[in-house]
Amino acid sequence: MNNLVPRSCGPGRPKDLEKRAAILEAAKRLFPENGFEGTSMDAIAAAAGVSKLTVYSHFRDKETLFTDAVRAKCTELMPAELFEMGLSGSTRDQLMAIARAFFTLITSEQSIALHRLLTAGTGTSFKLAQMFWEAGPQTLQTGLAGFLRGEVARRRLEIADVTRAASQFFCLLKGELHARLLCGCGNAATSEADVEAHLEATVELFMRAYGRPAAG
């Protein structure tokens, strides 16, 4: 009689989750540094301290790893809970929380580097740009649109097109400060007070456009 107890090899074991997290951390660092074409699965495996076979056991190809890395970076700074209704006492306060998280995300070194690589055009395909858009900006916009839709239902906001409004909000948040970073002007001359004033002004403008008289 065989008394051996078969080991579980299914997904979800702590060791597997640790390896997956290590792979994603390596991908989040290497893709912005070296670009998509300049980042090999071998390099990611080495940086994560795992074998290439392990990388492929978690991510079927480099495109999948790239999109998951983009999604992980967004989730890290802007988790889904950020868009849940009732997170703060007022619509204005929650929009400020979203604004701060979004601005931190788009001005991070990794985001700036990846944006420059994607817009440079060199070695960047339409497919890759589309994958980035769907995994990052589009996902965040969908989350914000869901929050805005809920606030409309609660009669805190009055918006005819929440998808367009979500896009407008994120575009306004980028503003001149983000454009200067993309141009390489740096943020040495930008104080935290300047950033906070920019975010507050953006939220105020948005609330003036879409807030109901009784809105928070």
Model confidence pLDDT, tens digit, residues 89-128: 799 999 999 999 999 999 988 888 888 777 765 455 778 8
Write the burial class of residue 32 (CB in 10 Å: 0-12 exposed, 13-18 middle, 19+ buried): buried
User: Residues with Cβ < 8 Å from 42, sequence gap 6 or more?
Assistant: 52
**Distance in angstroms (rounded) separating the CA atoms of residues 162 and 44:** 39
Mean predicted lDDT score pLDDT of the chain:
86
Q: Which class does domain 78-210 fall in?
A: mainly alpha
Average pLDDT over residues 5-15: 48
pLDDT at 9: 45
**Distance in angstroms (rounded) separating the CA atoms of residues 52 and 161:** 46
Q: Which backbone phi and psi does 211 adopt, to 5 degrees? A: -75, 140
User: Residues with Cβ < 8 Å from 23, sequence gap 6 or more?
Assistant: 44, 45, 48, 50, 54, 55, 58, 59, 65
**Distance in angstroms (rounded) separating the CA atoms of residues 195 and 14:** 39
Q: Are 96 and 203 in contact (CB under 8 A)?
A: yes
pLDDT at 14: 65
pLDDT at 168: 97
Write the burial class of residue 15 (CB in 10 Å: 0-12 exposed, 13-18 middle, 19+ buried): exposed
Average pLDDT over residues 149-155: 94
Q: Give the count of beta carbons closer than 10 Å to the beta carbon of residue 176.
A: 10
CATH (residue range 14-60): 1.10.10.60
- Residue 79, pLDDT above cutoff 70: yes
- Residue 56, pLDDT above cutoff 90: yes
Selected residue with higher pLDDT from 180 and 162? 162
pLDDT at 15: 61
Please, which pLDDT band fits residue 129 given cuts at 50, 70 and 90? confident
What residues does CATH 1.10.10.60 cover in the chain?
14-60
* Least confident stretch, 6-20, 77-91, 194-208: 6-20
What residues does CATH 1.10.357.10 cover in the chain?
78-210
- Residue 180, pLDDT above cutoff 90: no
- Residue 4, pLDDT above cutoff 50: no
- Residue 166, pLDDT above cutoff 80: yes
**Distance in angstroms (rounded) separating the CA atoms of residues 128 and 122:** 12
Amino acid at site 7: R
Selected residue with higher pLDDT from 49 and 183? 49
- Residue 2, pLDDT above cutoff 80: no
**Distance in angstroms (rounded) separating the CA atoms of residues 32 and 95:** 28
- Residue 185, pLDDT above cutoff 90: no
Predicted model pTM: 0.83
